[in-house]
């Protein structure tokens, strides 16, 4: 009896056709790949693949020290994938993509609305021919609405969707989040949507189209600030590192660096005041409750800032942790990835590649921790088109199992 191979993860057996590029779609498909799905990424020979292959430096170098097509940006969202070089503008490329689609469970793309219709690879055509498919389209503003033709980029979404109006110092300019968080969150919604639609497909046999807009997803995670505006009808303010509804909940300058103090309730505030040697502040009617602290923020924060600035960062952290007051450092990335916590949680990983300078690449791990079906890191980010022959041979031989077998 043949030995059963180990599971690749909870999505083992699913095949995903990835027609996306840059970040939102690739974030989604990397997550699905980590969970065990076979992800086949189609890359355009005319551009030498995904745009982000050239978004650098930094690049990984080959053993001779020359830069490769593996930029750090590309590698951040493209492990556990097969790279297939196909020109979808050609009849041969379209036919090959359709053969993969016939075997796939899900398709994801981020072309402009209607952009794939000219190639016969749009959702209406593929769902007509392969009704089992879950087909996810990501665009800037969605498939409908007056802005459907406008392009979608993370920075544009952060500006249009309002998050930049809430981010930055009160008197400064609106500020984007440092990483492309609108793209990343859109990828998360795409993964949830695809898995939900697959659940429906498995119950009913019916595939469907998912219409996902970058701006819609950004608006959705305005969360409490968005609902506060809808509740009051009033503009919301930028508060820098302060919080709109909790005080004190922000970054403070210590004598030798920066520290976060995040007081979540009145008892914690009283313990903070005890630590600072000003217990009377905890009973002061101006500060004793969170609504009172909000109303008197402009008086309280300078007072706390002066008291905290007299002490060193590590002293503050140790002192407040002992009193069960939420506190923490503002780490650099070097400090983050050097911590025992990151190591213990598997958030810094290395994947072998014999054709690169150090014999492998370092990546950020997946945060999902399953008790029975863990994520797997099977394939490092691919070079452009490196799996074309392997995948097309797999399809030509009937597409049974996975090209990973």
DSSP 39-60: EEEEE-GGGTS-GGGGS-S-EE
pTM of the model: 0.94
Please list the ranges in the chain whose pLDDT falls under 70: 1-3
Of 28, 38, 31, nearest in space to 8 by CA: 38
The CATH 3.30.1540.10 portion of the chain extends over 249-331
Please pick, among 183, 283, 298, 393, the residue that the annotation labels catalytic.
183
pLDDT at 211: 98
pLDDT at 7: 86
Please confirm, yes or no, whether 183 is among the known catalytic residues. Answer: yes
Give phi and psi for 332, each to the nearest 5: -75, 165
- Per CATH, the homologous superfamily of domain 15-222+341-397 is Crotonobetainyl-coa:carnitine coa-transferase; domain 1 (3.40.50.10540)
pLDDT at 51: 96
pLDDT at 4: 74
Alpha-carbon gap, residue 11 to 191, rounded angstroms: 12
Give phi and psi for 134, each to the nearest 5: -100, 120
CB atoms within 10 A of CB 169: 12
So what CATH class is 249-331? alpha beta
pLDDT at 1: 45
Alpha-carbon gap, residue 300 to 242, rounded angstroms: 12
The CATH 3.40.50.10540 portion of the chain extends over 15-222+341-397
pLDDT at 3: 63
CB atoms within 10 A of CB 404: 16
Of 61, 58, 54, 86, nearest in space to 357 by CA: 61
Alpha-carbon gap, residue 250 to 263, rounded angstroms: 9
């Amino acid at each position: 009896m043949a030995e059963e191979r180990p599971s690749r993860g909870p999505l083992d057996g699913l095949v995903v056709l990835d027609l996306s590029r840059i970040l939102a779609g690739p974030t989604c498909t990397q997550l699905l790949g980590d969970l065990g799905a076979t992800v086949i990424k189609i890359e355009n020979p005319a551009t030498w693949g995904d745009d982000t292959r050239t978004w650098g430096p930094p690049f990984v170098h080959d053993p001779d020290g020359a830069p490769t097509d593996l930029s750090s940006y590309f590698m951040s969202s493209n492990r556990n994938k097969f790279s297939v070089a196909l020109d979808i503008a050609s009849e041969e490329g379209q036919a090959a993509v359709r053969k993969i689609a016939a075997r796939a469970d899900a398709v994801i793309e981020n072309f402009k609305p209607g952009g794939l219709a000219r190639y016969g690879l749009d959702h209406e055509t593929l769902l007509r021919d392969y009704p089992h498919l879950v087909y996810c389209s990501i665009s800037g503003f969605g498939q409908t609405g007056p802005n459907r033709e406008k392009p979608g980029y993370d920075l544009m979404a952060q500006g249009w969707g309002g998050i930049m109006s809430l981010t930055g110092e009160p008197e400064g300019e609106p500020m984007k989040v440092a990483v492309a968080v609108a793209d990343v969150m859109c990828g998360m919604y795409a993964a949830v949507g695809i898995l939900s639609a697959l659940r429906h497909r498995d119950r009913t046999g019916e595939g469907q189209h998912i219409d996902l807009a970058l701006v819609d997803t950004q608006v959705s995670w305005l969360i409490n600030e968005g609902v506060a505006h809808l509740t009051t009808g009033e503009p919301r303010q930028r508060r820098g590192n302060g919080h709109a509804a909790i005080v004190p909940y922000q970054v403070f300058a210590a004598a030798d660096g920066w520290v976060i103090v995040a007081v979540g309730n009145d008892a914690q505030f009283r313990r903070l005041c005890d630590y600072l040697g000003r217990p009377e502040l905890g009973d002061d009617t101006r500060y004793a409750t969170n609504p009172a602290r909000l109303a008197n923020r402009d008086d309280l924060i300078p007072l706390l800032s002066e008291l905290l600035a007299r002490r060193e960062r590590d002293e503050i952290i140790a002192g407040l942790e002992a009193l069960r007051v939420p506190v923490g450092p503002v780490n650099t990335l070097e400090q983050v990835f050097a911590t025992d916590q990151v190591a213990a949680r598997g958030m810094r990983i290395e994947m072998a590649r014999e054709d690169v300078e150090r014999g492998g690449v370092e990546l950020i791990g997946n945060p999902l921790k399953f008790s029975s079906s863990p994520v797997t890191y099977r394939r490092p980010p691919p070079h452009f088109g490196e799996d074309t022959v392997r995948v097309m041979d797999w399809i030509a031989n009937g597409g049974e199992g996975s090209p990973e077998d």
